[in-house]
Chain A
């Protein structure tokens, strides 16, 4: 018995040592590094911080949307309701006003012409460029990615996007930054085509919050996490109920199992 346990322990120790060694060597490579932030939407009971969501939307609207689309979202999503209930806490009228502030191409009309009209809540977010070629032509050949799923589409998620937004620094001595590129300590290879998008006071928050770079990065990442996972709050809320139900049900099933099996020897 003793020997058996020792054998097992030895086997696991060897496997652990191999895995650990491999992990360390893999980590030594030049990979994006960023620190973990404190997010309100993390954890089983995590929810979005509504004021932060609204500030984040303002940062997207005033800064990011000049180059980055958000094509999977409709203006109505900002107000919530429908299939997924978590909007960013705006009223129907506020959503209508935001939608009406953009011009949407619609048509063709009875004469066969396309025409411009003010946006409606049911419209998708209008993209800054009509197509990829136009986007590249305006951005030195680089394509600003769509932001609808950006938080899910990058390893590290919210922490990574926050790291990019706050990672613009002066290049260290001896590091050559190519023309039209910017040094970013988070980005793989440290050269990014996006100019530093945020600077202190780049937006004026309606709620008087100080618009520092870390504050704006935090807000816009919160907003983009919501944009990628608008179901997150419903999911957490239903999930808690489902798990509580299952724990009780499974407990009862265990009691029934014990009772049924009590006559088997």
Chain B
């Protein structure tokens, strides 16, 4: 990588003192990217776009929102009714949370399919999981802010989870609430943290990108790039591909915003919070449903909480649980099958989480929870041990076809 010669004197002056333009050029323009990335690789930059959009809309909404238990609900309705385009800002922000999670979940499942968590990308994977956990905390606290029935009772249920901690549990919950029940102090601190955490996410995203640009992007074949013939510069190839993907994503996302803005919402959250009246079914937002199903599948409260948190923490160990040296599921016939089973298992957990835990649903939830942990802790290591992967292509330039076949293909092209 040669140092670019900057023509603009101002740019040159700054760059000599702090090479911000050189760094940007290296990481956003020249960054050598495998040339075979599929559209599943769009969801990283899409997630980044959603983060920026959420912060932008959130900052403006905060100018109109009042974090007080007496006023919060009405201040949100004021945004919807009396603030110019307030309804648009709020619906973009509210549905943005759902679409942020959609992008991030697809991004994670892409990583799981193509083994993007394996050497040398363990740290990259960990930082991604840290972002997911921060996102979940931010989304949970954001959902509390409108102070509707589901906001209030969701906050009550989730903060009460900490009471399962032996001895100190009760005191921790009182400390979290800032009182003896979810009330105005709780709302105040949630608002403060909901404003803070996105900026922490931005910082971790920078670390995530730093780790990415050090170990470079994985690709659908899961093999290392062997030289310049395997890569293309990020700009213009992936900038334009990402922009096209963004267009498609926005059509779906804004379609929901404009035509079914309450699709992901709960009717109960249109009722102002009432500590004296508990909704019939307390359900979290859809992106928490699988975890909620795991929590409720375990009859013991403390063990349920541990299982719920473990469902994410187990992923930190994944680079070692799956010690197969082949990254991409394309060359792993057995892993590929259990990958789809896991995806279905997570969807079933989501369905279970949305419904009251009674009758057959309770048992389906228990089986799906057991299978979830079985997948990571037993099935994946066993597959790594016994699976016979298919032969890997020698390079990205000659995928699937052997070197000889590729050579003959080249001669045919010439003919």
Nearest to B270 among chain A residues (CB) is: A153
Q: Which of B83, B84, B254 has the most CB of A within 10 A?
A: B254
Q: Please tell me if the beta carbons of B267 and A152 are within 8 angstroms of each other in the complex.
A: yes
Residue from the list B80, B241, B340, B341 in contact with A231, Cβ < 8 A: B80
Convert B232-250 into 0s and 1s, putting 1 for each residue whose CB lies closer than 8 angstroms to a CB of A: 1000110011011001101
Query: Is B348 on the interface with A (CB-CB < 8 A)?
Result: yes
Query: Is A206 on the interface with B (CB-CB < 8 A)?
Result: no
Q: Please tell me if the beta carbons of A15 and B247 are within 8 angstroms of each other in the complex.
A: no
- Please indicate the chain B residues that have their CB under 8 angstroms from the CB of A246 in the complex: 247, 250-251, 254
Given contacts A11-B340, A15-B348, contact A149 B270 (CB under 8 A): yes
Q: Please tell me if the beta carbons of A153 and B268 are within 8 angstroms of each other in the complex.
A: yes
- How many angstroms between the C-alpha atoms of A145 and B91 in the bound complex? 25
Given contacts A246-B247, A246-B251, contact A22 B237 (CB under 8 A): no
Query: Is B35 on the interface with A (CB-CB < 8 A)?
Result: yes
Query: Is A2 on the interface with B (CB-CB < 8 A)?
Result: no
Nearest to A231 among chain B residues (CB) is: B87
Q: Please tell me if the beta carbons of B241 and A264 are within 8 angstroms of each other in the complex.
A: no
- Please indicate the chain B residues that have their CB under 8 angstroms from the CB of A249 in the complex: 247
A228 to chain B, nearest CB (A): 8
Query: Is A72 on the interface with B (CB-CB < 8 A)?
Result: yes
Report B49-83 residues with CB < 8 Å from chain A CB: 74, 77, 80-83
Question: Which stretch of A112-120, A165-173, A193-201, A237-245 is in the interface?
Answer: A237-245
Q: Please tell me if the beta carbons of A154 and B259 are within 8 angstroms of each other in the complex.
A: no
Question: Which stretch of A50-58, A96-104, A176-184, A251-259 is in the interface?
Answer: A251-259
Interface size class of B (residues with CB under 8 A): 35 or more
- How many angstroms between the C-alpha atoms of A240 and B257 in the bound complex? 11
> Secondary structure of the B side of the interface?
helix
Query: Is A44 on the interface with B (CB-CB < 8 A)?
Result: yes
Question: Which stretch of B102-110, B310-318, B358-366 is in the interface?
Answer: B358-366
Given contacts A83-B82, A153-B268, A264-B237, contact A250 B248 (CB under 8 A): yes
Nearest to A237 among chain B residues (CB) is: B258
- How many angstroms between the C-alpha atoms of A7 and B261 in the bound complex? 37
Query: Is A230 on the interface with B (CB-CB < 8 A)?
Result: yes
Nearest to A44 among chain B residues (CB) is: B259
Interface size class of A (residues with CB under 8 A): 35 or more
Q: Please tell me if the beta carbons of B348 and A18 are within 8 angstroms of each other in the complex.
A: yes
Q: Please tell me if the beta carbons of A260 and B351 are within 8 angstroms of each other in the complex.
A: no
- Please indicate the chain B residues that have their CB under 8 angstroms from the CB of A19 in the complex: 348, 351
B188 to chain A, nearest CB (A): 24
Given contacts A83-B81, A149-B270, A256-B240, contact A235 B248 (CB under 8 A): no
- Please indicate the chain B residues that have their CB under 8 angstroms from the CB of A26 in the complex: 355, 361
Convert A131-164 into 0s and 1s, putting 1 for each residue whose CB lies closer than 8 angstroms to a CB of B: 0000000000000010011001111010000000
Residue from the list B74, B337, B340, B361 in contact with A72, Cβ < 8 A: B74
- How many angstroms between the C-alpha atoms of A261 and B36 in the bound complex? 11
Report A4-27 residues with CB < 8 Å from chain B CB: 7-8, 11-12, 15, 18-19, 21-22, 25-26
Query: Is B271 on the interface with A (CB-CB < 8 A)?
Result: yes
- How many angstroms between the C-alpha atoms of A236 and B283 in the bound complex? 29
Query: Is B85 on the interface with A (CB-CB < 8 A)?
Result: yes
Given contacts A22-B364, A152-B262, contact A83 B85 (CB under 8 A): yes
Please, could you name 11 A-B residue pairs with CB atoms under 8 Å apart, sorted by A? A8-B340, A15-B347, A83-B84, A145-B271, A148-B77, A154-B267, A239-B257, A243-B255, A247-B251, A256-B240, A261-B241
